[in-house]
Structure 1
Amino acid sequence: MNLNNITHIIDILADSPLRQYLKGNESRTLFEEERKVLNKIDDIIRINIANLQNPLKAVVLGEVKAGKSTLINSLIQKEVAYTNVVEATAAIVEVKYSETENIFINFKNDEKRKVNSLVELNKLMDEKRNNQEFFSKINFISISTNTDRLKKITIVDTPGLNTITAENTERTEDYIKNADVVLWVINAHNLGQSDVVDKLEEIMEYGKPIIGIVNRIDEIDGDEDEILEYVQDEMGYIFDEIFTTSAKKAWDGFIQNNNKIIEESNINNLYKFIIDNIESNSKEFQMDSIEKSTISQIDKDLYVHKNTKNKLDTMLEKIDEDLRSLSEFNNNIKQITENKMNDWLNREFFKNEKNILLTCDNKDEYSRLLKQYTSSKYIENIINAQYKKMGKYIMDEWRKRSQQFIERKIDNVDFSIHADIPQNTNALQLTSEDEILDGAKNGGIAAGAVGLGLAGYAAWLGPAAYYITIGSAVGAFLPPLLIAGAIGGAVLGYLKRDKQKAKHYTQVEVLVKAIKNVVKDEILPDMMDKLNEYSDYYYEYTSGIIFDILSQCNISKEKVEDINNNLSKYIKNLEIELIDFK
């Protein structure tokens, strides 16, 4: 691999439809979770290229009291890292080559404080041991020395694993990004701790070579080979190389000029590996490190885009499914409403009035009731009551329908980026920090709020204003019945002409049939049109909410479809490039 290959990959990544959409888009989008991951991928690759211009950098990480500082001193064969201060107060220390020896405390406000010697630094650190405010202001401590072993390598000492707080976590991560190799120091007394493995798996995400160093090996009982085998079995998938050492014994041997003690410490094996594989071939090692890191980032990039493609496929499928379901529900409501109206007209309409007229024996009372029941206002009130009843039925059915959408479970749908990570990809643990985005789950919005939940339905579950408006508008579409004219001419005149021939019940039957026919032919069609409009209103409103939720993320369904189509092309192209790249 060479720089041209990496530059070519960068150009391909830039064509990502997600990157293209997110570029310059500062508003909240459907891809906020992806934005964070892709930015991290791009950042790591950019830093990798920048590091080619710098000396090889090794970052030393590990637990508290693992002996990191002593190990550094032993490797450099010079006291450059302070060792007599409680690690909980320690800051990041960058040790690099310089013809002039200097120690500076670099503060976050860009101020520098010169320290005259390591002894003075140790004393200051010890004095400030419990002053967390002081340490929170420190960016890093820089130690420059003219030791030859630092000419081709810069070493960064970091706080112990259990002391990495919110104050220095980001700075530690920045150093890991910039590292060419990670030296992870393990306290031989604490082998197999789960929090150590968890942290190491997080570091694997950066795609950097990691060398495992089991330190303080001389302080425990047990066979060294068995310990090495245990670490290999438990964490061999993490480390590129594993060494056992006793940094303290090595430092004692150096102070005493005792090569035998140094040899027993095993520090020479580690030193030889660094010299032969890192320091003497720093550019080659850097390029190998960059190659490994870049391939890891491409694997992650592919995974993110495939995961997003799956998410968008499901989202679009669910949107179409919901639209079809809503349309079917709307048509069903209309048909049921029509059936109910026909059934009402045939069975219930004017039923009580008919019975009263049939049982009325008083001529004057019969005439009064006949005049009352056949008035436009009376019949309009009956129809108006039924119309409102059916309007309420439609609204209630849509309410229940929307509630079903809201209550539908999405626990079985997981579109967070950490799901089903390919085995050849380093652990990528990502979850959305913003759970809710205007009623829609960020990241999971695709198959969650839009596809299954339609959370926006909640916006109209309570109000019935539109129903009230329609309900009060009955008179607007009911034609004047004018029973004295329309029905009067068709029925009452007939009754007067044939009153001696027709029986009482026949008169009532003819009257009721005539009124029903007028309602059926002149009124019912208009009523059904209005009720259908009413149901269509809810259909259009609820359907629109699907797109309103997308609009909250500043994207249209058409744009989602466009991005989704381009994702397929991008994934295919990147897979081909990755094969050649490897």
Structure 2
Amino acid sequence: MIWGVNLEDTSKYIELIKNLLISSPLRKRLAESDNTPFKNLISQNLNKVMDSVEILEYKENEPLKIVILGEVKSGKSSLVNALLNKEISEVDVLEATSTIIEVFYNDEEYFRVSNDITKIGLDLDYLKKINIVDTPGLRSTTLKNEQTTLKYIENADLIMFVVDATHLGQEDIYDSLDYIASFNKPLIGIVNKCDLINDDKDEIREYINDEYGIYCEDLFMISSFLEYQDRISKNAKAEDRDIMLPTDKNLKEGFENLKRYINNVYNNYEGVKVNSVKSSIESIIHKEVINNYDYSKSISIIIDELKKYRKLLEHKVDYISTKMNFEIEDWVNRIFLSDEVEKIKNSIEDAEIYINEAYINSVISKKKEELDQIFFEEWIECLKEVSNEVDEDIKKYIENIEYRSELSEAPSFEINDEKINLNELLATVGTGAILGATSGGVISLYAAGVGTSAASITIGSALITYCPPLLIAGTISGALGKLIYDKIKNDQKSKELISDIEIFIKEIKSNVVGTLTEGYDNSSKEIVRTTEDIFKISKNISINDYEAEKLIEDIEVYVDDLKKYMNYCYV
């Protein structure tokens, strides 16, 4: 569909875009399943986009909204007074009344204050197609004022950004312009209080064109205070000797040019409204592209890190398995019951002391405690190492984002380099928002998951709670064991008994090696499985690899489709 030149075509296009947004893969998944990674974060972003569409639906037939923005004490209020030739906004106050003032047409004068918004109705033809909104500033004294101002920006058809001529070049001006530009609204710059500067005004004009021209369709140098003084002086009484008159013809001309600009907006109401909606839809689509691109990119990063995490853990399993096998076999082959056998050989009577279930179990249990300590210490270090490595990888993705956060929205100025894909460039900006939400190490979550005693619990005991090694059972029983025990109990001590004991111990060693090895291997597998689950929880990944890859694929198709519709906005 191509943009028409009337509001009827615009209305159809809004409906088309709305239906396209509703059918997005992410919105469908959020509607159908609670099992969506970063659900709360992405839901907020997607809901903001839909809210913007709904605002467009209601504003088509409303008067044009001209929103006046700027830093505190930049002369916004005196500008409103001068434009309407009437004292509407207070001047020379820190933030005026610290409210937003909206002036609109009404056949009878109307004044009402509600929720820090002052609404004034005036019987002025000038206001029949235009509403003027005076805001207290983007950096207001109250958060509520800031939030309300943002809503007015989103609903604006034209933004007039007022700069104090005595404070040009401040960093906060650029920050504000960056942010305002993200809404892709028609924006003009007004350099106010130019009567207070003594520098060459042509040089000032060249400077502001260089500095702010990238953001603004047009720039005007004025003194709204002197202009208003000039206007009220025409109705002033003779005794009003404190009224000042403008002395700079260039400033007078600048204000007249501004008035002509606004009159052109007034006379071209429908065209301006259509272009305003076009710009808004372009911004909405761009934000939708960024949200989806950012989401899929973040999920891809986390899934890739999960795969890497899995491989690192598998390598650690091999490492720990090799170490434990060595410790077990070395102990069994060199130490286990070796001294006891020598003592029995020297004194057959000692067989009764050492060859019994209680003693052998105590030897195995004591060694198993040592092996458990080695096993869990190795896993603790491995988990810390792997978790830190993966978290560092994720941090690098965030640290590599060098663009200012304001640019995560769609600025309206153009980038001439055709090789730059603005969507992809900007998508990397917001990725940190999602990846930043993946904080929370595996180690801490292990302990936290154990329960109320997590504050004092050790990682070793936490691991044991989750993944206890298999207990040794059946290693010293069986027919041969029973035979040996019976012989010793019946005092059947002979040289043949020593041979039987050696065979018995050999069998025990084999069973101990097999049982301990299998137990620690199973525990390692359980640790890997549990750690993977905890890793997913810590990174807010609650879907399997296939689901994630399918979602990413669907989002990519959707984003490509969105870009096509965004291109229509330029036709």
Task: With the length of structure 1 as denominator, give the TM-score of the two structures.
Answer: 0.78
1:165 and 1:430 map into 2 onto residues whose CA distance is 32
Q: Using a 3 Å threshold, how does the CA distance of structure 1 residues 455 and 178 change in structure 2: closer, same or farther?
A: same
Map of 2:157 onto structure 1: 180
Task: Please say if 1:234 is aligned against 2:199.
Answer: no
Map of 2:434 onto structure 1: 443
Per-residue CA distance 1:482-516 (angstroms, 9 max, x = gap)? 657259989x9999578xxxxxxxx96x5674244
Task: Please say if 1:463 is aligned against 2:444.
Answer: no
For 1:101, give the aligned amino acid.
E
1:88 and 1:99 map into 2 onto residues whose CA distance is 26
Task: Please say if 1:536 is aligned against 2:525.
Answer: yes
The offset of 1:152, in angstroms, is: 1.3
SS at structure 1 position matched to 2:398 = coil
Map of 2:114 onto structure 1: 107
Map of 2:398 onto structure 1: 414
The answer to which of 199-208 and 464-473 deviates more is: 464-473
Map of 2:415 onto structure 1: none
The answer to which of 36-45 and 423-432 deviates more is: 423-432
Task: Please say if 1:571 is aligned against 2:564.
Answer: no
For 2:27, give the aligned amino acid.
R
Contact 2:140 2:146 in 1 (8 A): no
1:297 and 1:471 map into 2 onto residues whose CA distance is 56
Task: Please say if 1:214 is aligned against 2:191.
Answer: yes
The answer to which of 144-153 and 290-299 deviates more is: 290-299
2:74 and 2:437 map into 1 onto residues whose CA distance is 46
For 1:337, give the aligned amino acid.
M
1:223 and 1:385 map into 2 onto residues whose CA distance is 91
Q: Using a 3 Å threshold, how does the CA distance of structure 1 residues 210 and 190 change in structure 2: closer, same or farther?
A: same
SS at structure 2 position matched to 1:159 = coil
For 1:485, give the aligned amino acid.
L
Query: Among 222, 227, 231, which residue is 1:250 paired with?
Result: 227
Aligned positions of 1:20-169 closer than 5 A: 20-23=28-31, 30-83=38-91, 87-104=95-112, 106-108=113-115, 139-160=116-137, 163-169=140-146
Q: Using a 3 Å threshold, how does the CA distance of structure 1 residues 20 and 164 change in structure 2: closer, same or farther?
A: farther
Query: Among 179, 200, 203, which residue is 1:202 paired with?
Result: 179
For 1:426, give the aligned amino acid.
P
Map of 2:359 onto structure 1: 378
For 2:163, give the aligned amino acid.
I
Query: Among 389, 401, 426, which residue is 2:370 paired with?
Result: 389
Per-residue CA distance 1:343-378 (angstroms, 9 max, x = gap)? 2222112222244356x4xxxxx1212333333433
Identity of aligned residues (%): 25
For 1:195, give the aligned amino acid.
D
The offset of 1:250, in angstroms, is: 2.4
Contact 2:70 2:163 in 1 (8 A): yes
1:11 and 1:164 map into 2 onto residues whose CA distance is 39
Map of 1:346 onto structure 2: 333
The offset of 1:280, in angstroms, is: 0.5
Q: Unmatched 5+ residue regions in structure 2?
A: 4-8, 236-244, 413-425, 451-458
SS at structure 2 position matched to 1:61 = strand
1:453 and 1:526 map into 2 onto residues whose CA distance is 29
Aligned positions of 1:421-440 closer than 5 A: 425-426=410-411
Contact 1:204 1:426 in 2 (8 A): yes
The offset of 1:154, in angstroms, is: 0.7
Q: Using a 3 Å threshold, how does the CA distance of structure 1 residues 227 and 541 change in structure 2: closer, same or farther?
A: same
The answer to which of 474-483 and 463-472 deviates more is: 463-472
Query: Among 267, 283, 291, which residue is 1:280 paired with?
Result: 267
1:566 and 1:150 map into 2 onto residues whose CA distance is 48
SS at structure 2 position matched to 1:206 = coil
Q: Using a 3 Å threshold, how does the CA distance of structure 1 residues 330 and 269 change in structure 2: closer, same or farther?
A: same
Q: Unmatched 5+ residue regions in structure 1?
A: 109-138, 361-365, 433-440, 499-506
1:279 and 1:468 map into 2 onto residues whose CA distance is 71
Q: Using a 3 Å threshold, how does the CA distance of structure 1 residues 62 and 384 change in structure 2: closer, same or farther?
A: closer
The offset of 1:270, in angstroms, is: 0.5
1:453 and 1:415 map into 2 onto residues whose CA distance is 21
Aligned positions of 1:230-379 closer than 5 A: 230-257=207-234, 264=250, 265-266=252-253, 267-276=255-264, 278-357=265-344, 360=346, 366-379=347-360
Q: State how many pairs are aligned.
A: 523
The offset of 1:400, in angstroms, is: 2.2
The offset of 1:319, in angstroms, is: 1.4
Per-residue CA distance 1:249-293 (angstroms, 9 max, x = gap)? 3223333449997965121111111112x1111121121122122
The offset of 1:177, in angstroms, is: 1.6
1:30 and 1:415 map into 2 onto residues whose CA distance is 20
Q: Using a 3 Å threshold, how does the CA distance of structure 1 residues 152 and 350 change in structure 2: closer, same or farther?
A: same
Q: Using a 3 Å threshold, how does the CA distance of structure 1 residues 487 and 202 change in structure 2: closer, same or farther?
A: same
The offset of 1:140, in angstroms, is: 1.5
Q: Using a 3 Å threshold, how does the CA distance of structure 1 residues 177 and 581 change in structure 2: closer, same or farther?
A: closer
2:357 and 2:192 map into 1 onto residues whose CA distance is 100
Contact 1:78 1:147 in 2 (8 A): no
Contact 2:159 2:185 in 1 (8 A): yes
Q: Highest CA radius of gyration, 1 or 2? A: 1
Map of 2:20 onto structure 1: 12
For 2:26, give the aligned amino acid.
L
Q: Using a 3 Å threshold, how does the CA distance of structure 1 residues 89 and 339 change in structure 2: closer, same or farther?
A: same
Q: Using a 3 Å threshold, how does the CA distance of structure 1 residues 394 and 570 change in structure 2: closer, same or farther?
A: same
Q: Using a 3 Å threshold, how does the CA distance of structure 1 residues 260 and 220 change in structure 2: closer, same or farther?
A: closer
The answer to which of 400-409 and 347-356 deviates more is: 400-409
Q: Using a 3 Å threshold, how does the CA distance of structure 1 residues 186 and 473 change in structure 2: closer, same or farther?
A: closer
SS at structure 2 position matched to 1:321 = helix
Contact 2:470 2:520 in 1 (8 A): no
The offset of 1:248, in angstroms, is: 2.7
SS at structure 1 position matched to 2:461 = coil
The offset of 1:307, in angstroms, is: 1.7
The offset of 1:155, in angstroms, is: 0.5
Per-residue CA distance 1:362-417 (angstroms, 9 max, x = gap)? xxxx1212333333433333233333332332222222222334544533231999
Map of 2:166 onto structure 1: 189
Contact 1:61 1:185 in 2 (8 A): yes
2:396 and 2:308 map into 1 onto residues whose CA distance is 18
2:435 and 2:155 map into 1 onto residues whose CA distance is 32
The answer to which of 389-398 and 282-291 deviates more is: 389-398
Cα RMSD (Å): 3.9
The offset of 1:211, in angstroms, is: 0.9
Task: With the length of structure 2 as denominator, give the TM-score of the two structures.
Answer: 0.79
Contact 1:103 1:141 in 2 (8 A): yes
2:62 and 2:201 map into 1 onto residues whose CA distance is 37
Contact 2:328 2:516 in 1 (8 A): no
Contact 1:96 1:154 in 2 (8 A): yes
Q: Using a 3 Å threshold, how does the CA distance of structure 1 residues 581 and 416 change in structure 2: closer, same or farther?
A: farther
